[in-house]
């Protein structure tokens, strides 16, 4: 009888009663007055980062820029080869180092404006090379960076002027060389041309030689002058204010506007002013000074953004003695932390409008053209371009005694299914053709 009552079919009927008995046993007549303690919700920088109001346009932009970064990393691998092409086997070896989490063929297939896939005329396996359009843009970016060397040197000098001791670590500058618009060989190509401004006393430290007070004007101060003259605002409202631009859907709580207005009027020590003679004891003024330093640092970059991990390398020279992530989350109208693109990136909100830079520069314009090739995908691949590519490959194949069947990546009906061959066939050689 007991086996029938407590069988598996009738066990679910008694489950509420067992729960009631369990609670009665835990809170019996001797401990009925003991209150149950509930865990308080954790309020940390990580939870605020997950629960913040997201800017979907900036997040989408970071995903697109990640694809562009992967394409440029593949371009660097291919350009280092002897004949400027690489087999799929070689690219497969570099896939994890680049950070590509999908198959090489699937990634190359998405961007025919950047990568051209063809069959090697001799060894008969699939290879990849960079299109002429993408190669021209890479060369144009390098030329624009070389031409803008004086402007880059001024931005580098302004960063040294903001630092406490007039020094910056060379490794930290190397990490953000792309963000600052520096060439990869800036140590040997650019620094010797500006020995009167800064020098390398030690191999890993860049030191400022002389200050230029004409450069000691922050980007936000120019914005304040426009606000004061064009919008006829009061001086006490714009003297220490920052541009505020909240994301769509941002919830403004009660009393938030009054706190923000008081914070905008709060005086602070500007980024290029030294605090040795007048130490800052007020916590709010110290935080506002750090906000000004971060705003000026992001304004000095080409695309007004820096990865958060690389930004932390400047905490010591700029005397940032607070939790950097908490400070950035505390001011969502000035900064935005995007978690898309496999990293956390700090973006200056007032510099972007609808996913584009408000005031583009020459380096950004070239990189935007590269991004347009990513966004175009398989579109705008005309029959004329296909015919030219087929004719070029036919001429190259005839010189070797065999016909080279060139095809574009967007040809879904191609007879050569390179994805299946690359993953499954055993006739591919394990070594690269460029070796």
Q: Of 30-34, 131-135, 164-168, where does mean pLDDT reach its minimum?
A: 30-34
Question: Quick one: average pLDDT of 409-422?
Answer: 38
- Where does residue 419 rank: exposed (0-12), middle (13-18), buried (19+ CB within 10 A)? middle
What pLDDT, in 10s, does the model give residues 276-329?
655 667 888 999 999 999 999 999 999 999 999 999 999 999 989 888 999 999
pLDDT at position 51 is 77
pLDDT at position 53 is 87
Q: Would the pLDDT of 9 be above 60? A: no
CB contact burial 259-268 (16+ within 10 A = b; e otherwise): eeeebbeeeb
Q: Would the pLDDT of 246 be above 60? A: yes
Question: Quick one: average pLDDT of 133-161?
Answer: 94
pLDDT at position 397 is 46
**Residue 230 parent element (H or E):** helix 219-230
Predicted TM-score (pTM) of this structure: 0.76
Beta carbons within 10 angstroms of residue 75's beta carbon: 18
CB contact burial 233-248 (16+ within 10 A = b; e otherwise): eeeeebebbbeebbbe
User: Nearest Cα to 108, choosing from 100, 99, 117?
Assistant: 117
Question: Quick one: average pLDDT of 203-217?
Answer: 90
pLDDT at position 26 is 55
What pLDDT, in 10s, does the model give residues 95-109?
778 888 888 888 888
Question: Quick one: average pLDDT of 336-360?
Answer: 92
pLDDT at position 409 is 35
Question: Quick one: average pLDDT of 102-129?
Answer: 84
User: Nearest Cα to 363, choosing from 219, 188, 185, 183?
Assistant: 183
Structure confidence at residue 118 as a pLDDT band (50, 70, 90): confident
DSSP string, 109-136: HH-TTTEEEEE-TTT-SEEEEE-HHHHH
pLDDT at position 10 is 52
pLDDT at position 423 is 37
Q: Of 85-99, 159-173, 285-299, 390-404, where does mean pLDDT reach its minimum?
A: 390-404
């Amino acid at each position: 009888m007991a086996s029938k009552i407590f069988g598996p079919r009738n066990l679910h009927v008694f489950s509420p009663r067992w729960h009631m008995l369990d609670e009665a046993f835990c809170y019996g007549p001797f401990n009925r007055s003991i209150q149950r303690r509930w865990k308080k919700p954790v309020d940390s920088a990580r939870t605020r980062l997950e629960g913040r109001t997201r800017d979907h346009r900036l997040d989408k932009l970071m995903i697109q820029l990640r694809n562009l970064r992967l394409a440029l990393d593949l371009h660097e691998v291919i350009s280092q080869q002897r004949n400027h092409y690489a087999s799929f086997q070689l690219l497969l070896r570099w896939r994890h180092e680049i950070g590509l989490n999908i198959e090489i063929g699937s990634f190359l297939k998405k961007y025919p404006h950047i990568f051209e896939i063809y069959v090697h005329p001799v060894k008969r396996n699939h290879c990849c090379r960079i299109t002429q359009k993408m190669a021209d843009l890479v060369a144009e970016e390098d030329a624009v960076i070389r031409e803008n060397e004086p402007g880059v040197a001024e931005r580098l000098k302004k960063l040294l002027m903001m630092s406490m001791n007039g020094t910056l670590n060379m490794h930290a500058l190397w990490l953000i060389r792309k963000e600052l618009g520096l060439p990869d060989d800036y140590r040997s190509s650019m620094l010797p041309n500006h020995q009167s401004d800064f020098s390398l006393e030690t191999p890993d430290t860049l030191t400022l030689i002389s200050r230029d007070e004409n450069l000691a004007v922050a980007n936000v101060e120019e914005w304040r002058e426009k606000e004061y003259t064009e919008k006829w605002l009061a001086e006490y409202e714009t003297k220490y204010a920052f541009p505020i631009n909240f994301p769509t859907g941002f919830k403004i709580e009660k009393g938030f506007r009054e706190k923000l207005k008081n914070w905008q009027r709060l005086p602070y020590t500007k980024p290029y002013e030294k605090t040795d003679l007048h130490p800052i004891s007020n916590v709010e003024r110290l935080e506002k000074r750090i906000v000004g330093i971060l705003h000026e640092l992001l304004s000095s970059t080409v695309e007004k953004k820096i990865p958060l991990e690389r930004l932390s390398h400047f905490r010591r020279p700029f005397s940032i003695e607070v939790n950097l992530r908490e400070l950035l989350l505390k001011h969502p109208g000035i900064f935005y932390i995007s978690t898309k693109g496999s990293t956390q990136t700090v973006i200056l909100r007032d510099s972007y409008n609808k996913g584009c830079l408000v005031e583009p520069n020459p380096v950004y314009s070239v990189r935007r053209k590269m991004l347009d090739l990513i966004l175009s995908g398989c579109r705008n691949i005309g029959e004329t371009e296909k015919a030219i590519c087929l004719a070029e490959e036919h001429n190259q194949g005839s010189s070797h005694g065999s016909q080279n069947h060139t095809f574009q990546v967007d040809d879904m009906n191609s007879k050569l299914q390179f994805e299946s061959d690359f993953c499954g066939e055993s006739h591919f050689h394990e070594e690269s053709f460029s070796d």
